[in-house]
Structure 1
Amino acid sequence: MVWELLTNPVLVAVAVLLALSALRMNVVFALVVASVVGGLMGAVDGGEAWAMLGHGEFHAFWNCCVGGFSGTMKAFLSNLDNGAVLAINYVMLGTFSIAISRSGVTELIARKLFAWIGTELTARRLLYFKYMLLGILTLISISSQNLIPMHIAFIPVLIPPLLPVFEKLKLDRRAVACVLTFGLITPYMVLPVGFGKIYLNNILLDNITRNGMEVHASQASPAMLIPALGMVAGLLIAVFFSYRRPRVYNTSGTEAMVDATEPAEIKPFNVAVGIAAILMALVVQIFLDSLLVGALLAVMVFVIAGVIRLRDTQDVFVQGVHLMGGIGIVMIAAAGFANVMKETGGVSELVTLVQGAALDYKGVTVFAMLLIGLIITMGIGSSFSTVPLIAAIYVPLCAAMGLSPLATIAIVGSAGALGDAGSPVSESVLGPTAGLNADGQHDHIYDSTIPTFLHYNLPLLAAGWIAGMVL
């Protein structure tokens, strides 16, 4: 089993992706290289190349490698259109964010916060205001998943104008990244509203039912409560221990960013138009389920009201691409990487390996299910896509071990959610980076990916295991 794990194409590809990212290679480049490695190991349209090499058939090995490379690139490129939809949404969201900044809405919020802090910033006042701000950001992030289901759309609108406030507080942005990621993930794990309704009812419970176990909607939230508490523990550790110390950034970069977007003066009319545009985007997204149309109509509100001239929309769009275009390109490449991983068959092999574990060792088997879920989601970058891949094996296996429906929900739900935090290609990590790196001082891997991986995946792994054993 150990050798099968070490040679599994998905596991190797994810390891390559994480290693190259940790070495500061661009995430898109790392995704392409990892796709090629995984595709060749999985023999995508290439046959058993490694077996031929073992028999000394070097010419056949070379031909298989060429075929495998060609098949890998075909699989990679054939799925890019799925990521392109997300990319154009993010670019339009960035454009909307720039338009809002020109209206003065977010600048007004930042100025009010500065006035609230005051010039005399004592240590006690600093501590109070820092944790109050983190608490507010946590509530806003949680609300973006259910109360106002806009996912990461609020981050590029709200966070960049607050960077000077973070500087004054000497707030470690890694703590903010952990706060935002917590709010983007934990609500859908346990609250059956908004994105949680989709994850718990439409994906998790539906796949468990389809694979032969009777479960009810009323069981989802209680089953996922213990795993959610693991996420809470990670948040508290990050905020009150790991990143509680002051951290100083280069204020000249932040000031330059603010000067580039700060309006000459904050006009009440412009602010009112900005609020109307935000409401327009929100209503369209909720009722038409289209972030693209919502952002476009919101920008047109600015144009019609005269806050932004029609000829200036080109400049606004270019700045929007600069703000959010990077995350869009990563999501396009991530869609190709996910398709290659599916074509290798390595995902199915990983899931099947759990089935071969000894049923007498329930604790080991539950841990293996969670760990493999972590690996799959780290590569795919979407917990919503992981559950359908693992449920077909996990549900019958849980039934064979005599686990209750509550325990099964907790195991499959936790295995899917594991890796959403800490994956370099997850929206829940890319979103915070897009906002916090607006001035170029927040590294995606070392300031978002690794901190969220350590503070959420490890507690969630432990909490998910406990839930699977005691429920």
Structure 2
Amino acid sequence: MNAVFVAVIVMIILSLVRVHVVLALAIGALIGGLLGGIGLEETITVFSDGLGGSANVALSYALLGAFAVAIARTGLPDVMVRSVIKLVGRSEDSRKKALSKALIFFLLALISCFSQNVVPIHIAFIPILIPPILKILNELGVDRRAVASILTFGLTAPYIFLPYGFGAIFHGIVVDNMAESGLVVEVSDLPTAMALPTLGLVIGLLVAVFITYRKPRHYQDRDIVGMKEEQQVYSTWSVITAIISIITTLVVQTISESMIMAALAGIVVLLVSGSLKWKEADGVVTEGMKMMAFISFVMLAASGFAAVIRETGHVDLLVLQVGAIVGESQAAAALLMLLVGLFVTMGIGSSFATIPIIATLFVPLGLAAGFSPLAIISLIGTAGALGDAGAPASDSTLGPTAGLNADGQHNHIWDTCVPTFLHFNIPLFIFGWIAAMVL
């Protein structure tokens, strides 16, 4: 039995039955290590050593949480809520509410897409933008699963299709690893090869927003972490400096490519301006870390899990086993290659890290099965992206949860991972398979 397959299945099943995802990752890694033959002691050592791989990301989340709480203290969220409520009104004007929902959905989709290509800040905008508008979403009866789907779409579709920002990095990884495996392709081939898989993601988004989660869902109006009723006294100066700090954060993130430096810059602006009092700084950072503690620990555990399944050597074995099964059947080869990508990415939590693992063996396997270069690009790109949406340890799901669960009413597994898995991985799988067969 392949250790990677078993470890991922165990992790997914435990997560679905509401075992804490950190425990699910640790147990899955332990079982995978033992089945992979590396022994209990070495499994624990590899898992522990692997935890450091996401330390930078974990600290980034913690500081972004602190910055989000600091923004909440300025009164900017209250201004936003009051302004939109005036626009929407508290009446039962269904047409006005529908138009307001459509506008919010469009802006969230636009901003999340821009975060990958135009202003590549990745998930840094979510803890800043989403918590302040939760009460607006409650007013409109918005199902947060629809918002999670919109955000995850914006965090995945642009980079697999457009060769800009993070897309340039992803496309470069695909091209470089294919060249190392003996098949030279051009970066300009990627948009053509990934057009159909991206179309699958678009269809999944439309189904999620306009069919599956179109009905109202009611939430309680709870306080956001760090934003209490008695603290919603604000001045024009504090609101202005909050906006300046957000812009500063985005600029620093773009220039430095560091979420840590960006969050620190935003906090410094608030401190220097006086909008955040020095005596409150300690409490703000603590509250922010509390808000992001879950996400940070998941990232750490996921890094350890990924280290263990790599150490087993069963990822390469899984691909070789697929090659032995499919023979020369293109349809079967494409199907099983995509399944391998799904399992590897679900376990590692990163499509970018999956590409180097699978490209080495997918190129000779695709050539042996008679696939064209474009079809092989599509298979590798789709197999790498599969699982990014829906994976408990992926930025594409952890980011939306970080924002939508700021008031404790959004479950990571059932409200983010399961909806995004169903609406994005299934159509991505289908359209990726079609692309491999027709290109």
| Counterpart AA for 2:422 | L
Instruction: Work out whether residues 14 and 378 of structure 1, in 8 Å CA contact, stay in contact via their aligned partners in 2.
Output: yes
Give me the whole-angstrom Cα distance separating, in 1, the residues matched to 2:18 and 2:2: 25
Which residue is equivalent to 1:349?
A: 317
Give me the whole-angstrom Cα distance separating, in 2, the residues matched to 1:435 and 1:206: 35
Give me the whole-angstrom Cα distance separating, in 2, the residues matched to 1:455 and 1:69: 38
Give me the whole-angstrom Cα distance separating, in 2, the residues matched to 1:164 and 1:400: 55
Which of 208, 211, 223 lines up with 1:238 in the alignment? 208
Per-residue CA deviations over 1:91-117 (Å, capped at 9, x if unaligned) read: 011111111122233332222211110
Which residue is equivalent to 2:80?
A: 109
Which residue is equivalent to 1:121?
A: 92
Instruction: Work out whether residues 226 and 287 of structure 2, in 8 Å CA contact, stay in contact via their aligned partners in 1.
Output: no
Instruction: Work out whether residues 104 and 271 of structure 1, in 8 Å CA contact, stay in contact via their aligned partners in 2.
Output: yes
Instruction: Work out whether residues 207 and 387 of structure 1, in 8 Å CA contact, stay in contact via their aligned partners in 2.
Output: yes
Which residue is equivalent to 2:244?
A: 276
The Cα of 1:256 is off from its aligned counterpart by 6.6
Give me the whole-angstrom Cα distance separating, in 2, the residues matched to 1:285 and 1:264: 28
SS of aligned partner of 1:121: coil
The Cα of 1:146 is off from its aligned counterpart by 1.3
The Cα of 1:263 is off from its aligned counterpart by 4.2
Which of 306, 310, 313 lines up with 2:274 in the alignment? 306
The Cα of 1:267 is off from its aligned counterpart by 1.9
Instruction: Work out whether residues 173 and 436 of structure 1, in 8 Å CA contact, stay in contact via their aligned partners in 2.
Output: yes
Which residue is equivalent to 1:216?
A: 186
Which residue is equivalent to 2:138?
A: 167
Say whether residues 1:185 and 2:156 are aligned partners.
yes
Give me the whole-angstrom Cα distance separating, in 2, the residues matched to 1:261 and 1:395: 58
Instruction: Work out whether residues 420 and 428 of structure 1, in 8 Å CA contact, stay in contact via their aligned partners in 2.
Output: yes
The Cα of 1:351 is off from its aligned counterpart by 1.3
Say whether residues 1:458 and 2:426 are aligned partners.
yes
- Runs of 5+ in structure 1 lacking a partner? 1-6, 45-67
Which residue is equivalent to 2:350?
A: 382
Which residue is equivalent to 1:20?
A: 14
Give 1:60-459 correspondences, 5 Å limit: 68-201=39-172, 203-251=173-221, 254-255=222-223, 260=228, 263-459=231-427
Instruction: Work out whether residues 107 and 262 of structure 1, in 8 Å CA contact, stay in contact via their aligned partners in 2.
Output: no
Give me the whole-angstrom Cα distance separating, in 2, the residues matched to 1:368 and 1:358: 8
- Runs of 5+ in structure 2 lacking a partner? none
Which of 8, 30, 48 lines up with 1:36 in the alignment? 30
Give me the whole-angstrom Cα distance separating, in 1, the residues matched to 2:78 and 2:428: 37
> Against the structure 1 CA distance between its residues 258 and 244, is the aligned structure 2 distance closer, same or farther, given a 3 Å change threshold?
farther
Give me the whole-angstrom Cα distance separating, in 2, the residues matched to 1:349 and 1:469: 25
Count of residue correspondences: 439
Runs of 4+ in 1 over 4 A off after TM superposition: 255-259
The Cα of 1:447 is off from its aligned counterpart by 0.6
Mean Cα deviation higher: 429-438 or 119-128: 119-128
> Against the structure 1 CA distance between its residues 107 and 468, is the aligned structure 2 distance closer, same or farther, given a 3 Å change threshold?
same
The Cα of 1:400 is off from its aligned counterpart by 2.1
The Cα of 1:258 is off from its aligned counterpart by 8.1
Per-residue CA deviations over 1:41-82 (Å, capped at 9, x if unaligned) read: 1111xxxxxxxxxxxxxxxxxxxxxxx111110010011111
